[in-house]
Amino acid sequence: MNHSQLINDLQAELDAADEFMQDLLEADLLPHELLREYLMDLTLLQNKHIPAEMCSEGKLMERTDEVSIWLENLKWEIAKHRDGDGND
């Protein structure tokens, strides 16, 4: 995969994560404190110190994986709270 495609893939993942978070904020499914934590993490993923254009292909793949893991963790939290285990 070439460098520009990896940048496009990363941006697509970040856009999808941002849209998911916006929908989640409107749905009010998680405690506000937990949402704030995930929102801060997403902001950090979106605003890395080194621009994506300056990253190696390996680093771009790593960043894309970080966003995917963030999204999976968030979905796990939603499932946990829906199942009633959110008070553990």
Domain residue spans of the chain: 27-83
CB 74 within 8 A of CB 45: no
Q: Measure the CA–CA gap between 54 and 33, rounded to whole angstroms.
A: 34
Residue position matching structure tokens 């904020």: 25
The pTM for the full model equals 0.88
Q: Is the model's pLDDT at 29 over the cut of 60?
A: yes
- 52-88 tens-digit pLDDT: 999 999 999 999 999 999 999 999 999 999 887 655 4
- Residue-level pLDDT at 84: 77
Q: Measure the CA–CA gap between 32 and 52, rounded to whole angstroms.
A: 30
